[in-house]
Amino acid sequence: MIALLLCCSVALLLCCSVALLLCCSVALLLCCSVALLLCCSVALLLWKSATRVSGVMQPCV
């Protein structure tokens, strides 16, 4: 879960920084949203796979 939060935070910061340099508010919002959704989705899938393989289902809190 820590990795999930860390990944989302880093992706959001990096993408927003780049978009901010481009000075386009629309692109900024769109990029941040997409980056956050994609990264969280991938991290969540990896987390579920890892817990399934280890045989220990931890609560996703």
CB atoms inside a 10 Å sphere around CB 19: 19
Q: What is the CA radius of gyration of the chain?
A: 14
Q: What is the pLDDT of residues 35-58, one digit of tens each?
A: 777 767 777 777 777 766 665 555
From residue 10, give the alpha-carbon distance in Å to each of 28, 33, 50, 51: 15, 13, 21, 23
Domain boundaries, the chain: 11-35
6: confidence class by pLDDT, cuts 50, 70, 90: confident
Can you spell out the DSSP letters for 1-61? Answer: -HHHHHHHHHHHHHHHHHHHHTT-HHHHHHHHHHHHHHHHHHHHHHHHHHHHHHT------
For residues 8-27, average pLDDT: 70
- Reported pTM: 0.44
